[in-house]
A = this chain, B = another copy of it.
Amino acid sequence: MKTLEESFEAVLAGKKPQNLYEPISYILMQSGKRLRPQLVHFAVDLFDGDAEQAQLIAMAFEMLHNFTLIHDDIMDVAPIRRGKETVYKKWNSNIAILSGDALAIMAFQQLLKLDCDRELILEIAKVFAQTSLEICEGQQYDLDFETQSAVSIDEYVNMIRLKTAVMFAGCLKSGAIFAQADAESEQALYDFGIHLGIAFQLADDVLDVYADSPAFGKTIGGDIRDNKKTYLYLKALELAEPAQRKQLEELFAVPTVNFEEKYQTIRAIFDALQVKTITENKVRQYVEMAVADLDKVHVAEEKKSALKSLALKLIDRKK
């Protein structure tokens, strides 16, 4: 069975024009964690589906994910991703727009190559399309929140559900559909993905402020530098004394001038209000919900243990 990279190379071989397909090759060949393909395969394996064919679904979701990264990096004016220049920076934003578009279309094309019951292909395509659309909704909310004065915690969690979690959920559900799981298992895997995805992002919010710098792959405090209203910030606002609220709001209302000072000030407020612990508790809650979802996945316990381990590993990562 070809590796994911070999499959990507095969679909891109000889395609022109170069300025459209080289950026696609560039981003796909960078090894991210390939988490989304893993999730597809996990779900397919749970129900003894065809692993080789399932790679088409894994490719589709990984391509969809990378399409969102290309476009997000234009919107965020981001120069670096995974330690390398973003497509937008290495080429330009016009090329990044078009390559992203082409990558999204190629993602769908992988699904259309599936050689199984047409009804299943249609079901998977519908999940895939809805997932794709919801990711756009999440990204739009994320952009909106940058300039929205008051963002509720419910709004924030909904945004990360759409922007991050529905992809995990869609990968798992699509894999289950392909492997002809029962409807309740499909829904349970979807819910598992949602709860895991939210936990993942909340854990990310904590790491951004509190990670051990060398182990963490990114700059500590990037969210604070970027005035990103994460769970920690929103929780802090909720619990803050008037004086603390004033500081939080004022510091987040202007572009960062003195990062080190801003980071220390905000972090001190976070520490005082114990929002790290509160958020970590929330992460644990979502992981517990995810593990509970697995009860409704109708396969033997030992088969589910790999998913349980993945869940715990994702949340406990230091980077």
Flag if A20 contacts B136 (CB, 8 Å).
yes
Cα-based distance from A181 to B110 in the complex (angstroms): 26
Flag if A112 contacts B126 (CB, 8 Å).
yes
Cα-based distance from A137 to B105 in the complex (angstroms): 12
Contact of A143 among B19, B102, B119, B141 (CB under 8 A): B19
Query: In the complex, what residue of chain B is closest to A102 when comparing beta carbons?
Result: B136
Cα-based distance from A119 to B121 in the complex (angstroms): 10
Q: Does A101 contact B (CB under 8 A)?
A: yes
Q: Name A12-44 residues within 8 Å CB distance of B.
A: 16-17, 19-20
Query: In the complex, what residue of chain B is closest to A101 when comparing beta carbons?
Result: B136
Contact of A122 among B100, B104, B121, B137 (CB under 8 A): B121
A98, A101, A119 — which one has the most chain B CB atoms within 10 A of its CB? A101
Q: How many residues of chain A are within 8 Å of chain B by beta carbon?
A: 38
Contacts of A104 in B (CB 8 A): 101, 104-105
Cα-based distance from A105 to B135 in the complex (angstroms): 11
Flag if B17 contacts A137 (CB, 8 Å).
yes
Q: Does A66 contact B (CB under 8 A)?
A: no
Q: Does A180 contact B (CB under 8 A)?
A: no
Q: Does A80 contact B (CB under 8 A)?
A: no
CB distance from A127 to the nearest CB of B (A): 10
Contacts of A136 in B (CB 8 A): 20, 98, 101-102, 105
New contact pairs (17) apart from A19-B140, A109-B126, CB-CB < 8 Å: A17-B140, A20-B140, A74-B94, A74-B97, A95-B140, A98-B136, A98-B143, A102-B133, A102-B137, A104-B104, A104-B105, A106-B133, A108-B108, A112-B122, A121-B122, A122-B122, A125-B125
